[in-house]
Amino acid sequence: MKLDDRLQALADFVPSGSRVADIGTDHGYLAVALVESGKASFVVASDLNRGPCEAAKRTVAEAGLAWGIDVRQGDGLAPLAPGEVDVLCIAGMGGALMTQILAAGAAVLEKVQRLVLQPMNGAGKLRRWLYENGWHIDDERLAVADGRLYEILTAVPGYAPMPEAVLLDIGPILWEKKPPLLRQHIEALLFSARREAAGMENSEQAVKSEKYRQVRARIEALEAHRKS
């Protein structure tokens, strides 16, 4: 199974021999690649909706991997039993939804050794939730697929000091490693923050709000890091 750069980055963060849950599996491509490569000894590929589950079952059957991949329909971590998997992969959804899924599946999460996450947005809030709930970022990567820039991060259990707010947005490991795509990543964050500020500037009341002050402070911090 040939993966695009986004899914390959997720696969690269999975330790060899892991038991994996691919939450929001869609067509099951990541699950198949993990088992084919030996990265995963077993995968639960789950999705909330029937359509993706049926598509994943076809992908798994065509690859002849039904022995190693169990496709299940269900919401978040509900299809999993505590201790059934070592690694959770969640991709292709917003960071806020990811935090809801992780919080709702506390019994399953307690037994997990690694999270591999690809938030479509809200990565800063996701990182904050991880640090506040007994996890910390172990590694991060940027990838481009179909012309879009993606953040992929992996977290492990254990408390660590909370990074400053701007690094929660940028990614503390990304800032430390400074990959070639980092400037593009910061520019994208700045574009989003400036658009939010511009929307608020149409209202005198909004401009006087604490939220507007926070957005402006975020813009200033991102601009300073872009120049660093």
Q: Are 98 and 90 contacting, i.e. CB atoms less than 8 angstroms apart?
A: yes
What percentage of the chain reaches a pLDDT higher than 90? 96
pLDDT at residue 212 greater than cutoff 90? yes
Distances (CA, A) of 46 to 97, 135, 206, 209, 220: 16, 23, 42, 42, 41
Binned at pLDDT 50, 70 and 90, residue 220 comes out as: very high
Binned at pLDDT 50, 70 and 90, residue 132 comes out as: very high
Q: What is the pLDDT of residues 31-80, one digit of tens each?
A: 999 999 999 999 999 999 999 999 999 999 999 999 999 999 999 999 99
Q: Which residue has the higher pLDDT, 191 or 227?
A: 191
Closest of 118, 105, 90, 111 to residue 25, by C-alpha: 90
Q: Identify the pLDDT of residue 61.
A: 97
Q: Identify the pLDDT of residue 228.
A: 78
Angle, CA 16 vertex, CA 69 and CA 129 arms, to 5°? 85
Q: Are 22 and 60 contacting, i.e. CB atoms less than 8 angstroms apart?
A: no
Mean pLDDT of the chain: 96
How much is the CA Rg of the chain, to the nearest whole Å?
19
Q: Identify the pLDDT of residue 184.
A: 96
- Mean predicted confidence (pLDDT) in 159-185: 97
- Lowest mean pLDDT, pick from 114-118, 157-161, 199-203: 199-203
pTM: 0.95
Nearby residues of 116 by Cβ (< 8 Å), 6 or more positions away: 10, 13, 14, 87, 88, 89, 90, 91, 152, 153, 154
- Mean predicted confidence (pLDDT) in 163-181: 97
Task: Write phi, then psi, for 20 (nearest 5 degrees).
Answer: -120, 145
Q: Identify the pLDDT of residue 227.
A: 83
Distances (CA, A) of 9 to 5, 93, 113, 154, 194: 6, 16, 18, 10, 29
Nearby residues of 199 by Cβ (< 8 Å), 6 or more positions away: none
Nearby residues of 205 by Cβ (< 8 Å), 6 or more positions away: none
Q: Identify the pLDDT of residue 1.
A: 76
Q: What is the pLDDT of residues 67-118, one digit of tens each?
A: 999 999 999 999 999 999 999 999 999 999 999 999 999 999 999 999 999 9
